Amino acid sequence: MKSVRSVTAIIALLLCVFMVSCSAFSHSSGNYSSSDLYNDGANNGSAPIELSNGRDEKTGQSSATETLTGGRKVVFSSSFVFQTTQFEESCSRFNEIITKYGGYVESADIRTNQKSRSASYTARVPVDKYFDMLSDTENVGSVVNRSENNRDITDDYFDIEARLSALRTKEDRLLALLEEAERIDDIVALNDALENTVYEIETLTGKLKKYDSLISYATVSVQINEVADIADTPSVSSSFGDRIMIALNASLKGLQTFGEYFVIILVALLPILIPIAVIVLVIILLVSHGKKKKAKKAARLQAQIRPAGPVKADEAPGAPRADGSNEHAPDKQ
């Protein structure tokens, strides 16, 4: 009984030590930097271990990448937006450039509408050939927009490495305790702790592999838009006359485009406009006919009221008689 209690106490003490060591690793890893780690290696008299293909044994990252970034863990990415009048040739040229520099197209999306086409590509290229590839990519078409986003993940990377080191140490000690455990309760508790530790190790290992992939291969996003004409944009060095001509050409192109759209819309509305025009014409004719009919009727009424022959002055209604009296005047009593 005493031996069992002593074993249980030892297990509890070791678990406490493991938790404290893990906490220390997690808190101290946030202060690591690439220079600190490399200085530690230099002080210990050990050099970085390299494989025969020139890649780091732990991360698989090429030494050329380390030289390029100065030992930092940097994720390189960029994006382009192109205009082109030769859509198929521009798409083929971009795919050839990616193949030329040892990369691959991760995703592609080509869309077609009534007037133009567009293509969106996401490609991955080895980071040691990344900048040479960017120079060639500018020849895919007329550059409308270009941007770069280089993200330094050195701190996150070494933090994950430190946590993995602590978790692997914890895994080894849990396995050793599991071999010595005799009670069912202790075995169950150790198995649960071991499963959680293995799960955390696998999760962090997957994240580290993803980081290695992003570091080793740069990401390039390209959008290619098909246009009828390449848009003219005046540069700062252009003369005053050149800028006037560019603005005038842009205005003429805009006017031409407006005329084309107006004719297209007019032709599209003809099936609706023709019946409306016929209805309006019928209404106008009916109104005009009604006005003419009313005018004729008024003329006939005036002809019926007017006397046929000339009216004498003394016979006109209300005219004074020859004796000076008025026909309509009332007789005086």
User: DSSP characters for 174-236?
Assistant: HHHHHHH--SHHHHHHHHHHHHHHHHHHHHHHHHHHHHHHHHHEEEEEEEEEE-SSPPP---T
CA distance 327 to 331: 9
Domain match, 61 and 19 both: yes
In this predicted structure, what is the pLDDT of residue 1?
45
Percent of the chain with pLDDT over 90: 33
275: in domain: yes
Provide mean pLDDT across the span 315-326: 52
328: in domain: no
What residues does 158 pair with on adjacent strands?
none
8: in domain: yes
280 lies in which domain range? 242-284
CA distance 133 to 102: 10
Domain match, 160 and 275 both: no
Domain match, 50 and 168 both: yes
pLDDT tens digits for range 44-103? 333 332 322 334 444 444 455 555 566 789 999 999 999 998 999 999 999 999 999 999
CA distance 131 to 125: 10
53: in domain: yes
Provide mean pLDDT across the span 34-43: 33
Domain match, 60 and 171 both: yes
Mean pLDDT lowest among 32-46, 173-187, 301-315: 32-46
What's the whole-model pTM score?
A: 0.50
Mean pLDDT lowest among 16-30, 140-154, 180-194: 16-30
Question: Of 70, 73, 36, nearest to 153 (Cα)?
Answer: 73
61: in domain: yes
pLDDT tens digits for range 197-240? 999 999 999 999 999 999 999 999 999 999 887 765 544 445 67
pLDDT tens digits for range 105-136? 999 999 988 778 999 999 999 999 999 999 89
Is 333 a residue whose pLDDT tops 60? no
In this predicted structure, what is the pLDDT of residue 198?
93
64: in domain: yes
The SS3 call for residue 55 is: strand
252: in domain: yes
Q: What is the mean pLDDT of the chain?
A: 74
73: in domain: no
Residue 159, number of CB atoms within 10 A of its CB: 19
Domain match, 252 and 203 both: no
pLDDT tens digits for range 238-268? 567 766 776 677 677 677 777 877 888 888 8
